[in-house]
Chains A and B, each alone.
Chain A
């Protein structure tokens, strides 16, 4: 008769399914396995006597009093970030509006030509708006990574501020990556994919790191070479944009 293994007994003790055998049935007829189970039960039951100190009276209120200032700080930073973003978005929106007006103007001028050309133009306009937005997104991400890389590493390093920013950037990043993927821009979508992992890494780290942990994050950023890639793709986007502007000017002449 094949006896139950220690792992089987552990599963049985915790009420989990023991694969391949009916543990209950086997234990009913096997004294050796019953002894093994009893020995295991003694050890695991002993673990139940590990005491947990009872928190002080009003513990819940005290926790809230300690957490609240940090929550307030998060809210203040979020508001600042939102104000800054809104300021930036105003310009992006203004640019987008200008491009749409320009597109409409161009469409009007060439209205005699086929509808297909107008569609192609609006596609180009959309791509230009996306490229401007991605360029700005990369610049903001670069700022956070540089800030982290240049942080002082004496004692505990508080990266909570960068974490809030990283969390916000993760959501934007995901959106831009999907759009870049759909439009077949591999270099941009690959970079955004890598950047997303780094941003998630930062967002999910503990807020206060000792110097070894902080160096670890810094090493991971450096190992990915992400800052270099951001610079390269960022400057490619700018070059593409400059090329388009020049092309547009030469056409209008």
Chain B
């Protein structure tokens, strides 16, 4: 019979670190999808998956079981990725010209040759454009958007995961959508 998350957690707490394997194997794919959307690249996403499970293991004594282990570990993954993209933004601030130029070139390349949404949808160019659009968001906006749009979390849950007021979480989603619409205007047309 498949072992439940709660049983595995209890076993780890009782001094059996091997029981943690069940939790890693059950949740790592979903955590990877989340960290990939947050960080935008495979290498960082892989690192964040490891960091998430290591942090979860070390903080397991704080897991009170009110939420499911999955929800708790995704929250850790969100915070790990948020830390990483914040650090990345800080580094980018130190070299703003290079990052800005690269972003513009990427967007320009993606919308070159009079593209139509239909054509782009089947090419890697749209992927590049979508990634570039996400890169323009602040760490908080990106996190709030990923949690709302891809993870389907409601504003209340996002605010709890990020430790901010519901109003702040909601406005981060609004700002993210505004920026994405502006960034995608060349292919989607202006907002009506």
Contact = CB atoms under 8 A, between A and B. Distances in A.
B60 to A, nearest CB: 11
A55 B57 contact: no
A60 interface: yes
B58 A167 contact: yes
B154 A44 contact: no
B32 A70 contact: no
A74 B59 CA distance: 11
B192 A63 contact: no
Per DSSP, are chain A's interface residues mostly helix, strand or loop, or mixed? helix
B130 A46 contact: yes
Given A6-B191, A53-B42, A71-B57, A64 B21 contact: yes
A47 B187 CA distance: 13
A206 B84 contact: yes
A46 B188 contact: yes
A43 B25 contact: no
Q: What bracket does the count of chain A residues touching chain B fall in?
A: 35 or more
Contacts of A206: 51, 80, 83-84, 87
Contacts of A50: 37, 127, 130-131, 134
Interface string B113-129: 00001000100001100
B192 A35 contact: yes
B68 interface: no
A61 B26 CA distance: 10
A60 B37 contact: no
Contacts of A167: 58-59
A116 B57 CA distance: 49
Interface in B90-117: 90-91, 117
| Dominant secondary structure of chain B at its interface with chain A | helix
A39 B191 contact: yes
Contacts of A75: 17
Contacts of A53: 36, 42
B149 interface: yes
Interface string B145-175: 0001100001100000000000000100110
Given A16-B155, A49-B126, A164 B58 contact: yes
Interface string A64-97: 1011101110110000000000000000000000
B128 to A, nearest CB: 10
Given A53-B42, A207-B54, A43 B180 contact: yes
Contact of A64 (B25, B79, B170): B25
Interface of A: 6-7, 10-11, 14, 16, 35-36, 38-40, 42-44, 46-47, 49-53, 55, 59-61, 63-64, 66-68, 70-72, 74-75, 163-164, 167, 204-207, 210, 212-213
Interface of B: 17, 20-21, 24-26, 28-29, 32-33, 36-37, 42, 49-51, 53-55, 57-59, 79-80, 83-84, 87, 90-91, 117, 121, 126-127, 130-131, 134, 148-149, 154-155, 170, 173-174, 177-178, 180-181, 184, 187-189, 191-192
22 contacts: A6-B191, A10-B173, A35-B192, A40-B177, A40-B181, A40-B191, A43-B191, A44-B177, A46-B117, A46-B184, A49-B121, A50-B127, A55-B28, A64-B21, A67-B20, A68-B21, A206-B51, A206-B83, A206-B87, A207-B51, A207-B54, A210-B91
Which 8 pairs between the two chains have the least Cβ-Cβ distance?
A: A60-B25, A39-B192, A63-B28, A50-B130, A64-B24, A67-B53, A7-B174, A60-B28
